[in-house]
Homo-oligomer: A and B are copies of this chain.
Amino acid sequence: MRTTNRRNFLRAGAAASIAGAIAPALAMPSGAADDKASASGPAAQGVTRTLARYIVGARYEDLPANVRKEGTRTLLNWIGVAVGGSHHETVDRAVAALAPFSGPAQASLLGRRDRFDIMNAAFVNGVSSHIFDFDDTHLKTIIHPAGPVASAILALSEYHPVSGKDFLNALVLGIETECRIGNAVYPNHYDVGWHITGTAGVFGAAAAAGKLLGLSEQQMVWALGLAASQPVGLRESFGSMNKSFNPGRAASNGLFAALLASKNYTSSEGMIEAKRGWANTISTKQDYRQITEGLGQRYEAALNTYKPFACGIVIHPAIDAAIQLRNENRLTADQIARIDLKVHPLVLELTGKKTPQIGLEGKFSVYHSVAVAIIEGAAGEKQYSDRAVRDPQVIALRDRVSAIVDPSVKPEQVDMTITLKDGRTLHKHIEHAIGSVEVPMTDQQLEAKFTDLADAVLPAAQVRKLIETCWQVERLPNAAAIAKAGVLQK
């Protein structure tokens, strides 16, 4: 099984050259213990520098094959969601606000004709990619890794030519940076109210952009320090356009930090771990080993996941069960007498809306989600439109869905029984939904998701070519080809 292989690879995988290069920094004595440092983090010195040294030294050739593959899948998924979101009114308003102030037309806005300077382009593409809450997820931290990182380097790649290999390496290193920093402070940092994608994401964007700019180790320390000075986003903004703002601004802030550092604009040493540094200021938990241990040996970037369904992850098991039973039995709605679910308590707490009236409310209804998945065989953005939640056939089936809480059902599980009008019953137990680490989306499923999102924006032939360009990233002589393939032609 594919996931088993991947796990073995992760455990066995070791990039000797990188490990050797960073060993001196990791061996750095902890010295005077920080009086606020976490009990779990023995060393509060040299964290920023160790990370910077790793980023500066890490080569594409050091990446294990599974990490390259997952990085490529991350890129594909991100381009798809960014193109898909690119004509939402959120993006229209951002573009209207910034157009009078943009610099030279250096970089593409995915899915659009406009071109902005690289920092404004990074912002807009970051916004587009988070519109549908349909981007990638690092499950250990709930960081959406690609938004800040890919937005920054996609724009930069159009100004500062780099190979596809270097682009992919920077993408992985940026994701590694943000997810490791996220691990160091999660969950406390998230629980108190920070939108961790925006706060940790700035580091990822700075690291990836700094890597492509060829920063020295010292410059990378400064870039990370300037990134630490610009955290973005509060959870309170969720439900407004401000949520998509956060990965976009994390991208442009990180790029800003890297560009300043490239001209020797300084910051302090140890901005992540110092007494009054980022981690102590912004979190009550600081586990610095999450940042420095196993660099080049274990990859958070290999743990990235992609949502198959355009709604909160808590109802993904139910949708997965519905689609599997539908496809295995060629079910139609008129065959079904009733659908009974046994769910984890969170499902009804968060998505217990019985009669959603608009598309967005459908995302908070396990009843709608199951019904529309049975009828349409999918739960993408189209299945959460106003059209979908008002479809009489969907409503009729929705009213036949029942859900009860079963304390033995785990959050990643569901138990579904469909009773047919002819008296038969169909049963499905989901242990891990599609899109989880355990049951990842296949490449084909990622392509289908991409196409479903992008075909409303770009011509079908261009969508196909864009998908191919993403898959071929490692062979591109100039990574700017990705951005150029993703825009509306004049």
Contact = CB atoms under 8 A, between A and B. Distances in A.
A259 B97 contact: yes
A336 to B, nearest CB: 26
Contact of A234 (B1, B193, B271): B271
A233 B229 contact: yes
Contacts of A395: none
Contact of A236 (B8, B28, B93): B28
Interface in A97-151: 97-98, 100-104, 106, 117-119, 133, 137, 139-140, 142
Number of copies: 2
Given A263-B96, A313-B22, A438-B10, A229 B237 contact: yes
Interface centre among A10, A15, A194, A198 (most CB of B within 10 A): A10
Contact of A263 (B93, B249, B274): B93
Interface in A404-423: 410-412
A177 B249 CA distance: 23
A449 interface: no
Interface in A342-369: 346, 350-351, 363-364
A6 interface: yes
A330 interface: no
Contact of A17 (B26, B133, B140, B241): B140
Interface string A231-273: 1111111111111011001000000100110111111101100
A333 interface: no
A389 interface: no
A389 to B, nearest CB: 15
B236 A249 contact: no
A469 interface: no
A86 to B, nearest CB: 15
B236 A276 contact: yes
Interface string A17-29: 1111111111110
B280 A268 contact: no
A481 interface: no
A193 B236 contact: no
A105 to B, nearest CB: 11
Interface string A462-484: 00000000000000000000000
A264 to B, nearest CB: 6
B17 A313 contact: yes
A389 B220 CA distance: 34
Nearest to A344: B18
Nearest to A97: B263
A278 B234 contact: yes
A276 B235 contact: yes
A162 interface: no
A143 to B, nearest CB: 10
Contacts of A437: 10
Interface of A: 1-2, 4, 6-8, 10-11, 13-28, 90, 93-94, 96-98, 100-104, 106, 117-119, 133, 137, 139-140, 142, 159, 187, 190, 192-195, 198, 222, 225-226, 228-243, 245-246, 249, 256, 259-260, 262-268, 270-271, 274-278, 280-281, 311-314, 346, 350-351, 363-364, 410-412, 436-438
20 contacts: A6-B7, A10-B437, A18-B313, A18-B412, A22-B314, A23-B238, A23-B350, A24-B133, A25-B311, A26-B364, A28-B235, A93-B260, A97-B259, A229-B242, A235-B276, A236-B276, A236-B281, A240-B266, A242-B266, A245-B267
